[in-house]
Structure 1
């Protein structure tokens, strides 16, 4: 084929600059786009004339632009053919299943059916749109959804190991195993009819800030107040719990043992270490002054910039506070169930009434972006995830950003022909609408944005997406702020897409005791967020995070410890159950299930997601990390 392509170029008075490399690319173009050598060169002539290129030599620098020309041409041909696509009705489905038609039904359309069609029906990645799909504005959802597919084989599409179990948390119960077997058996049918799923309640808690708010107006005063209020709030919680007395000024010289509450700071711009730790007290007790902190007497500690701690010790010189005890966990104050035993906490709902067993059960599929591989914007991982969800039928599907990723090569280069909002609507929302129509009215989806979303405000905390009722009349898609909290079936779920774990990993300085048998560093990083009662406790924030201090105190504060804490990160995926109060016998069963589902797409290959079945508490909950 290379000689044929070369001959066609010569016949059209073109020469090749880097002959071997250009011919190899042209052969790939012919195979991927099903072109003959003459058709390929004819397309090159059109591209050559349209771009008004100089000279008759085909240069390697022009080949990438020629590829883009071929892709646009193929896209145009696909969209042109879509008007003739046949939408299968229930009669067609019955015909394929071999069922007889009842009198009065409309006649079958005379559409030829190939054997390959039957072979593809069992493919998990090819969901069938059932006749239960509602019509909107005279068109079905599947007609409105984007069908921009490519005949070119992608690395993601050619992967062999699909839906592999990476990690399992708790063993499945027999009921779960039976349900999985039933679902697997249903997947072998020619067309699997959708079973009704049990609906779940959904209530957004303090989804703030609201869409359309003004940002980038924070002042130095806002930053000061945000840090000061955080120190005061945690100090008041510690005093109210009775664990310590009234805090004093740690900067004053004294031989007596003092207790103070303040924030960890670094004495320079570099990474924090045990020699550069400063302690900044509150304005109320020390005027906001700082003092060097000496931790030589502590057997173990774990600190990071911005962490609020309580320290006990003395300051003999007035320039260095020698700590003998450190408190980094603060109790919750103001919760109505603090005095209840753990069993009672789990057995009561928000109204104080005994919660039924069903009210604390929830099946969830959790995934975090990017949702498309870096070699294209076909969103193949998202399509595969929705196909998996169609099969497993979870009550709740939680998708966290980025959705339209600013780090995607095509977004960075600006080579797409649509706005970011149009990509989000056509490639993501339309697919989610199809999923809801297929699953029925009980299906629920939660969307959480990311600061890497090109179509949303670049600020943290971040407002939720705006989805107008006309595009989601059944209101099956709920948009959450970042960070945000929601309650589903009496289960509190906290979400934050800022990669705080990755920054904590780079900023933390720690010392562990020599007799420690095992060190769970990931668990320690996650526990910082829970202990600080803050979704993003690091200060100063990461360079790429646009933290707005004028809204941060209300939006970042963790009013209560959630049952599930979702923290997507570039670190390794994990599922961990962490206790609320370390070393407290009365709270040994009060645990938070912390999850990092990983990224759904990693480069040109697939990533991971989480399937979870929550039952009453983390001890009875089963979860799995699955590779897409």
Structure 2
């Protein structure tokens, strides 16, 4: 390009150049200001005519080139200011046009990195502990909540790199493979795409085949079962699975009757690839269970009440179920109250249709927070743990995993805000809680294949029969060691999750022990089940008129009552 501009400038100015070096300076101006040689000539011509020169072209001197350079600099500054003014005007117009009913301005901007809630395990710091305000005898601690900068952990939802998502998904497979290898004493895993006459053990993720996706109406079935290997264990290939007619399930809970497959499930399989383009499965190996929860010590007995939003009916914002809950708690006097969002639900018809005049935070404080604080004033031995929902209008984060509600929302030492999902300890008793309806999603996506059982494991004392449908769903969460093991989420339910794959590590259950109590709110009928020595509780929603009371008694099994607001 410089050569072209040099020729143009030489032709235009020719003998009028005082010095050949001035031609080099003119070429530099072309390059620096992204102009052609012809543009430079026209600007030069306009300048000397504006100064009153005659039509006889003056000599091109060093001073004249410097003057032209100054003019180009001034023109560039003016153009930049004009562009900024235009952009500001457009942004202001867009802001006025997109002012939403919450009084917030929606201005389009470049994606900014947002801070993610920190993890004590990743930061190498001890877990946060609080003694409940007043004479409460319950100590609350949450390992994944710290008042420490997140050290570079960021939210980039919808702006993640494909490589980052791929690495996160691969890590899930490889971490599970290590557990399987250690538990079953496997020397080496096979490549599911490699032809072999001998049986081999493989680990991978269940996915749809190429012709079916979770976005389609086709549900996972035996004909569409496909396994995806990690890049290190099988070059990331996808191989169709065919279940042998005599496929067996080895080492599962007695009476479970088969295996539930769903998109995203990590599985361990035995079989072979005979070269026909598929892997024939002859045996399914259940994933190792988490270590049993610690037995209840002598830390004293206490009660926990759990209620889940929405807390007002679809037709109004009177919050009648919430008022009934407050009345119940005033009578029952639990030591700990766990409330799970949404509190101000973005899916509520009145909010969606723009029929609410006050900001969400104002309604939260008047309808939820202030009545709750009045209750705590009358119950000095009670503390509250708050878990947000991705549907909460008062949350700064609408992705899962989700940071806790901002500290500005609460200003009360008796109320503890924790992330979604979370694992927390109450007097040393492990609780796990999430607001996403993973049970309904699993029920919708699961394909159950009956199989014969060999080397079955006995049920624990007081454990729910393994064939129980709800117990099977809860077992998926525990065995996959994830609050949300499905990937990808069902298309028609994706707005209930907004799954951030790159931070899926925040969805893991703690590796050291299973939670004693697992709280999974769902639109499925309320229940409590004992699964692998973990008590799984679905309190359902306050709008359905139910909540759960849990009693922790030293040296005794956990007691759970599903209570009705109307009683």
TM-score (norm 2): 0.66
Cα deviations across residues 144-195 of structure 1 (Å, max 9, x unaligned)?
A: xxxxxxxxxxxxxxxxxxxxxxxxxxxxxxxxxxxxxxxxxxxxxxxxxxxx
Q: 2:516 aligns with which of 558, 563, 575?
A: 563
1:462 and 1:237 mapped to 2: Cα distance?
Answer: 27
- Give yes or no for contact 2:247–2:452 (8 Å, CA) kept in 1: no
The CA RMSD over aligned residues, in Å, is 2.5
Aligned to 1:537: 485
Aligned to 2:143: 205
Structure 2 match to 1:410: 350
Whether the aligned pair in 1 keeps the contact of 2:394 and 2:405 (CA below 8 Å) is no
Matches within 5 A, 1:386-401: 386-401=326-341
Please give the residue correspondences for 1:238-277 in structure 2 after superposition, counting only pairs within 5 Å.
Answer: 238-267=180-209, 268-269=212-213, 270-277=218-225
Match of residue 527 from structure 2: 574
Residue pair 1:197, 1:395 contacting (<8 A) in 2 also: no
**Cα separation, 2, equivalents of 1:309 and 1:556:** 16
Aligned residue runs from structure 1 range 105-254, under 5 A:
198-207=136-145, 214-216=155-157, 217-254=159-196
Structure 1 stretch displaced more, 278-287 or 394-403: 278-287
The aligned residue for residue 298 of structure 1 is 247
Residue 329 of structure 1 corresponds to 287
Residues 52-71 of structure 1 aligned to structure 2 (within 5 Å): none
Measured in 1, the distance between the counterparts of 2:549 and 2:233 equals 48
Checking the alignment, whether the CA contact within 8 Å between 2:546 and 2:564 is kept in structure 1 is yes
Deviations 1:599-618 (A, max 9, x none): 1014xxxx21011102247x
Normalising to structure 1: TM-score of the pair? Answer: 0.60
Give the aligned partner of residue 599 of structure 1. 541
Deviations along 1:469-526, one digit per CA (max 9) or x if unpaired, are 9x534x1101111111111111111111111111111110012358999831111011
Which residue pairs with 2:277 in the alignment?
319
Q: For 2:391 and 2:317, how far apart are their aligned partners in 1? A: 16
Unaligned runs of 5+ in 1: 1-195, 333-337, 348-354, 580-590
C-alpha contact 1:215 1:459 (8 A) present in aligned 2: no
**Partner SS for 1:609:** strand
Question: Is 1:460 paired with 2:393?
Answer: no
Contact 1:461/1:556 (<8 A) preserved: no
> For structure 1, which segment, 294-303 or 263-272, has the greater mean C-alpha deviation from structure 2 after superposition?
294-303
Residues 425 and 213 of structure 1: CA distance in aligned 2, closer, same or farther (over 3 Å) = farther
Kindly state the Cα deviation for residue 203 of structure 1 after the two structures are TM-superposed: 0.5
State the partner residue of 1:432: 372
Instruction: Give the secondary structure class of the aligned counterpart of 2:247.
Output: coil
Give the secondary structure class of the aligned counterpart of 1:551.
Answer: helix
Unaligned runs of 5+ in 2: 1-133, 249-257, 457-464
Distance 1:381 1:467 in 2: 26
- Structure 2 residue 227 is the aligned partner of structure 1 residue 286: no
Q: How many angstroms apart in 2 are the aligned matches of 1:213 and 1:362?
A: 38
- Counterpart of 1:487 in 2: which secondary structure? strand
Q: Does 1:381 align with 2:334?
A: no
CA distance in structure 2 between the partners assigned to 1:224 and 1:453 by the alignment? 29
Larger radius of gyration: 2
1:446 corresponding residue in structure 2: 385
Residues 53-89 of structure 1 deviation map (CA, whole Å, 9 limit, x = unaligned): xxxxxxxxxxxxxxxxxxxxxxxxxxxxxxxxxxxxx
Match of 1:546 in 2: 498
- Decide which of 381, 405, 411 is 1:472's aligned counterpart: 411
Deviations 1:427-478 (A, max 9, x none): 11111111111111x3110111111112212111111111339x534x1101
Instruction: Write the distance in 2 (CA, Å) between the matches of 1:480 and 1:600.
Output: 20
- Shift of the 210–541 alpha-carbon distance from structure 1 to 2, 3 Å rule, reads farther
What is the rounded CA distance, in whole Å, between the counterparts of 1:616 and 1:532 in structure 2? 30
Note closer, same or farther for the CA distance 1:427–1:561 as it changes in structure 2 (3 Å cut).
same
